[in-house]
Structure 1
Amino acid sequence: MPNARLAGAVAGRAAAPPSAPTAASSTAPDIQLRAAVASLLDRGLRLAAGDLLVVVFTADLKEAAVRLTATARRSGALVRLVALPPGEAPAPGRRVRSALRELAAEPETGSGAGRRLVLLLGGAPVDLAALGLPPQLIAAQLPADEDRPGGPLPGWEDPDARAERLAVLCAATSAAGRLRVLTGDGRALQLARRDDRPAVVDPGPPVAGELLTLPAGAVRIEVDEAEGLFVAEGTLQVNRPVRLGGPLRGRPVRLELTGGRVTRLDCPDPHTEGFLRRAVEVHGVDRLRQAWCRPLAAGRPEVGLCLTADEARRGPAGSADLRIVLAARADWTAVPPVPARPARRTRTGEATSEAERN
């Protein structure tokens, strides 16, 4: 059985950062970049011939974007680059849509065009619904993060090493009695899995209409009980075209949960708080159904809570499929199950269990 302490260690363990090249190995960065780009396209995006790909990049990742474009074109994909000027919001939807239209009009595209994809290199985490992009679009982002190690493609992790880390974390999570999630303010949220269902590894292949955060892969659980406090300082994602999605920097959301439901929330931004309060109180989106832990290449993992509407508490029509995801960097620790106390013999020699005595 996996060690419970191991679960906490795995969830926060950093992968070894790329070693700095020496003067004698000046080609090392280029080799590392080629390997990272190849794995990102093949195993991250699963790029195929005929796909239309728009690559949006920040200035510090220009070399990686150029290398990625050349590699994608050799695989038969059609590619457009969109550079973000300093200070511009990541992934402007209008420019992405324009680039996709240009690709679709290329003579090489013909009638056999494959999927439409956008890859965001760098920048703050985004909410796909807020960009106004087509719902059939497949989108992925490798966001900038000061905690991630540097290198030719910062934050990227070898897929095989990542798969091994996820497997260990999943086993430890499944063996736990409960999960303890500790966010920045030091207060914890206790989670219990529904019907003792085992945790699963979500490999995170790209799906149309959803943003895939790279490196992909997370451990996911179905939640039965949730008690405590969760402070979301990472991202807010909503499966609706609202402008409030995206980074929560400067507007953290504090959630108090009792019995698996949101019983209190607050946020310093009145627009964000008003939106969430209406979702909870009017539309009934107060039930924590799923939680996931996504290890990162360095620092604490990202933990997300998925709130949905309970069938018995659904609000106005159209809210049944409303889904809100709040994420934060947090500790994800497996709490071992409490062992049953051994039976104790009475004076008459009968063995009684704890439950029978009570």
Structure 2
Amino acid sequence: MSLEHTCGRIDKLKLKRDTDLDVKSLQEDVLEDYCMIVTRHQIYRAKKRAKVMIEGSYIEQYARLRDYAEELKKANKGSTVVIKTEQVGGQAIFLRMYVCFAGCRQEFLDGCRPIIGVDGCNVKGPYPGQILTADGVDDNNGSFPIAYEVVEIESKQFDKQKGLIPAIETLLPTAKRRMYVRHLYNNFRSSHSGLALKHLLWAAARATTMPWWEAKMENMKQEDEEAWKWLSQRPAKNWSISHFNTRFKCDLLLNNLCESFNSAIIDARDQSILTCLERIRVLVMLRMTNRRVACPKWKHSVGPRIFKIIEKNKLDASTCIPRLASLQTY
């Protein structure tokens, strides 16, 4: 059976509604509707061709990026949408595209904590690259999308901390930086493995006061002095709650906010460029809408997650006896 014949057998309406239909479902549809058996390879080729007919080819989608950017700015006044290209042999070659919606930017400034998490994930398909995301922390300890960018394949310029740290130091010299403790531990265990050391590192990271942190570090020193030396060389203000600046009111040690966003866009990452960008835009729109719908339903003056934290702290504090040490000091 020819590819053209197989392609004609696939229900284009179904593919138009859901371009992610799996191969098995399409095989069953062809068998049920036409009493014909087709191979997985034929379905793959037919599906690929049908998607091109519905969405346009990769080249066609890249050619329409500037039109898409203008539509984004027109529909979202004040938004920042930047496309960077490179001239090669008289042709403009796509490098990266940055999107920050005005609504996301303003709501971050108005109602989120001054904390930004940054992360990246790989783009699949014939034109590999990365999707970089910046997420904030809203007033209920939830993820708040700020901006995203599709960039070229991983390089030193964008390679995780190799490019991230110098960029922040250059563009935001006064910003306080925190480390993702899971990444810190992954580097730590490459030369200092063992369950006991793992627990001690995390205990030091979760310590909320200086004496507790010092006690955990001393325990590590007794367990393995080389491991203690390795960790002591990393400024505690970047990875331990005990040293965090209290102005930010945020004790997050993990980058789960960005990782949850990356998980949510996993279906978009193997799509052609316009489809990928549009799926991310819809996700951001839905998250913003759900947040606006949920906030008026809060039963307390703070979000439900924050309320639980306060109640737990109140319960813990009930076992403490305050004693006056000096004026305004207990």
Task: Answer yes or no: same fold by TM over 0.5.
Answer: no
Instruction: Answer with 1 or 2: which has the greater Rg.
Output: 2
TM-score normalised according to structure 1 size: 0.25
Where relative contact order (Cα < 8 A, 6+ residues apart) is larger, the structure is 1
Greater strand percent: which structure?
Answer: 1
TM-score normalised by the chain length of structure 2 = 0.26
Structure ranking higher in helix proportion: 2
